[in-house]
Amino acid sequence: MNPTETPTDRTMKRVETDGGVPMEDDQESTADAAKADGGTEKLVDVSPSHSVPDDDDDVRTRSTETAITTRDLNVYYGDEQALDGVSMDIYEHDVTALIGPSGCGKSTFLRTINRMNDMIDVCRVEGDVEFGGKNVYDDDVDPVALRRKIGMVFQAPNPFPKSIRDNVAYGLKIQGYDGDVDARVEKALKSAALWDEVKDQLDSSGLDLSGGQQQRLCIARAIAPDPEVVLMDEPTSALDPVAASKIEDLIDDLAEEYTVIIVTHNMQQAARISDRTAVFLTGGRLVEYDDTTKIFEDPEEQRVEDYITGKFG
């Protein structure tokens, strides 16, 4: 990867390759080059989406501390089992991608972390989800308080029919924050890479923004209460390639302050933006979980390689 490559350069490359998915000729030439160099052919390009800084001090440090731990996690919707015995450690300030075919339990796993599944009457959860040293399903855990610490961004942008300022400040007002709300709104919008675009129109409706701007507004709303973890359920699937690229670059920046867990159907996206990748396959089972480079270049499980190379799913 060219360390001098700008975000615009990266964006245009993604647009030129059909929204981030390399065209067939590019895949073949990349494979031929790898073989010519005597290297191992990569299943998916795992070059990071963000520019590599010249100063090593600016590189995000990988943590060995766990943010969330699940042990023997089983989730049922009525008689149907959606997750089957999922155990994994998710690390602080990592970007963890959850991939797998539709219906494999990725989104169920994500919603289980901050108890969004509580809103589904037929949902039943067994096993442990530990956050802050405590099982979030203990009787004395307040789900609303939990969601202040574990924010969520959904697949389609869902701003409220309120001003941009009130959208971002919504969570702060709900929790009775009595500090400088405007300062927190500005900080959240800057963190979501939206401040420069909206700072002169904070009283305008959030619904007047473009789709990509609305999604970044939702990210600002999620991080304004200062959570520790941000969950993202396919946050770019409803966006055009240029808007999606901005979100991808933003995710790496967010990991400086938050632990980010993202569900995506786009394997190239997972390879670009994540530090670790979890592969869920049929039956709600976690098949493999490792560093993203390992998953996409040399997976342990043949089923994972088959899925990544498009043999099923």
Strand 95-99 and strand 123-131: the pairing is: unpaired
Tell me, yes or no, whether 280 lies in a domain. yes
Range of the domain at 295: 58-64+93-115+145-308
Q: Which residues contact 43 (CB under 8 A, 6 or more apart)?
A: 296, 297, 299, 305, 308, 309
Tell me, yes or no, whether 88 lies in a domain. no
Tell me, yes or no, whether 130 lies in a domain. no
| The pLDDT of residue 131 is above 80 | yes
This prediction's pTM: 0.82
Tell me, yes or no, whether 28 lies in a domain. no
Tell me, yes or no, whether 34 lies in a domain. no
Tell me, yes or no, whether 36 lies in a domain. no
Q: In this structure, which amino acid lies at residue 73?
A: L
What's the domain count of the chain? Answer: 1
String of b and e for 208-236 (b: at least 16 CB within 10 Å)?
A: ebeebbbbbbbbbbbbbbbbbbbbbbbbb
Q: Return the percentage of the chain with pLDDT > 90, whole number.
A: 74
Per-residue pLDDT tens over the stretch 252-302:
999 999 999 999 999 999 999 999 999 999 889 999 999 999 999 999 999
Tell me, yes or no, whether 129 lies in a domain. no
| The pLDDT of residue 304 is above 80 | yes
| The pLDDT of residue 192 is above 60 | yes
**CATH number for the domain that contains residue 98:** 3.40.50.300
Tell me, yes or no, whether 53 lies in a domain. no
Q: CA angle 264-267-271, nearest 5°?
A: 105
Q: How confident is the model at residue 136 (pLDDT cuts 50, 70, 90)?
A: very high
